[in-house]
Homo-oligomer: A and B are copies of this chain.
Amino acid sequence: MVAEPGCAGTSTRQGPFADDCPSRVVLNHVANRWGTLIVTSLHEGPMRFHQIRDNIGGISEKMLSQSLRLLIRDGLIDRTVEPSTPPRVTYSLTPLGLELAALLRTLVDWITLRTDDIVAAQERYDRAQSA
């Protein structure tokens, strides 16, 4: 055994700070270009494939499909198929995913709220650099 799940005793680093810990992988599934937005979208409620795509500007079907599969594998999202014609597929958060979505929602809301401040900081920085 090299790195146990919790990664408590393998090095001085813990959790995602250790690069050989499974939690690092999980963090990368969530904290990437699309993961946060997908999970946060589903916090509104169950959605179908095209609904999610339309809710997230600029995401391609390929990346949505690929990201969904990773998150389903991680046990964060459920995929439900109603056997009709055509089949109706719905994505929803698992109890585990719901916990995570609440946290990510807070993050997204904070960024939305603070974007003005951040843009102002960027402009200050750029002006200082050009001087």
How many angstroms between the C-alpha atoms of A109 and B23 in the bound complex?
10
The answer to whether B121 and A75 touch across the interface, beta carbons within 8 angstroms, is yes
Contact (A75, B112) CB under 8 Å given A56-B17, A57-B17: no
Residue of B nearest to A4 (CB): B116
Residue of B nearest to A15 (CB): B112
Q: Is the interface of A mostly helix, strand, loop or mixed?
A: helix
Q: Residue A108 at the B interface, CB < 8 A?
A: yes
Q: Residue A19 at the B interface, CB < 8 A?
A: yes
Contact (A13, B57) CB under 8 Å given A74-B121, A74-B122, A121-B73: yes
How many angstroms between the C-alpha atoms of A36 and B33 in the bound complex?
12
Report which A residues bind B (CB closer than 8 A). Answer: 5-7, 11, 13-24, 26-28, 30-33, 35-37, 41, 55-58, 72-76, 96, 99-100, 103-104, 106-112, 114-122, 124-126
